[in-house]
Amino acid sequence: MTLLDTSSTPFFATADGRDLATDATFDVINPSTGQVFAQAPAVTPEQLDGVFAAANRAYRDWKRDDALRRTVLLAAAAAVEGAVGELAPILVAEQGKPLADARGEIFAAGAWLRYFAELDVPREIIRDDAERFEEVYRRPLGVVAAITPWNFPITLAMWKIAPALRAGNTIVVKPSPYTPLTTLALARVLRGVLPDGVLNVVTGPDPLGAALVAHPIPRKVSFTGSTPVGKRVAVTAAEDLKRVTLELGGNDPAIILRDADVEAVAASLFWSAFGNNGQICLAVKRVYAHEDVQPALVEALGELARNARVDDGMAEGAQLGPLNNKPQFERIKGLVSDAVGGGARVVSGGHAIDRPGYFYAPTILDNVDDSFRVVKEEQFGPVLPVMAFRDEEEAIERANNSEYGLTASVWSADAARAAEIASEIDSGQVSINGHGGGVKMHLPFGGHKWSGLGVENGPWGLASFTEIQVISGPSRLP
Q: Which spans in 41-148 are helix H?
A: 48-62, 66-82, 84-95, 99-118
Q: Which stretch binds ligand NAP (CB under 6 A): 86-94, 109-117, 147-155, 299-307?
A: 147-155
Query: What letters, b where the CB count within 10 A reaches 16 and e where it falls short, cover 208-223?
Result: bbebbbbbebbbbbbb
Query: At closest approach, how far in Å is the CB of 171 from ligand NAP?
Result: 15
- Amino acid sitting at position 132: R
Cis amide leading into 207 (omega within 30): yes
Is 281 or 301 the residue whose CB approaches ligand NAP more closely? 281
Find out whether 444 and 455 touch, Cβ atoms under 8 Å.
yes
Instruction: For residue 247, indicate whether it is catalytic.
Output: yes
Task: Please identify which of the residues 81, 131, 134, 247 carries the catalytic annotation.
Answer: 247
Write the binding mask 270 to 309 for ligand NAP: x where contact by CB under 6 A, - elsewhere: -----------x----------------------------
Residue count at the site for ligand NAP (CB under 6 A)?
30
> How far, in Å, CA of 182 to CA of 322, rounded?
18
Is residue 45 within 8 Å of residue 24, measured between CB atoms? no
* Shortest distance in whole angstroms from residue 261 CB to ligand NAP: 30
Residues 6 or more apart whose CB falls under 8 angstroms from that of 394 comprise: none
Residue 432 engages ligand NAP in binding (rule: CB under 6 A): no
Q: Which amino acid is at 158?
A: M
206 binds ligand NAP (CB under 6 A): yes
150 lies in the site for ligand NAP, by CB under 6 A: yes
Give the residue among 206, 210, 203, 145 at the shortest CA–CA distance from 179.
203
* Residues between 218 and 277 that touch ligand NAP (CB under 6 A): 224-226, 229, 232-233, 247-250
Cβ pair 143, 170 in contact under 8 A: yes
Contact 277, 322 (CB under 8 A): yes
Q: Active-site residue among 94, 281, 378, 392?
A: 281
* Closest residue to ligand NAP: CB criterion: 209
456 belongs to the catalytic site: no
Nearer to ligand NAP, 28 or 346 (CB): 28
205 interacts with ligand NAP by CB under 6 A: yes
State the minimum distance, in angstroms, from the CB of residue 462 to ligand NAP. 17
Q: Which is nearer to ligand NAP, 206 or 239 (CB)?
A: 206
Dihedral (Cα; 245, 198, 108, 121), 10-degree rounding: 70
Q: List residues binding ligand NAP (CB under 6 A).
A: 147-151, 156, 174, 176-177, 205-206, 209-210, 213, 224-226, 229, 232-233, 247-250, 281, 378, 380, 406, 447, 452
| Catalytic center residues | 247, 281
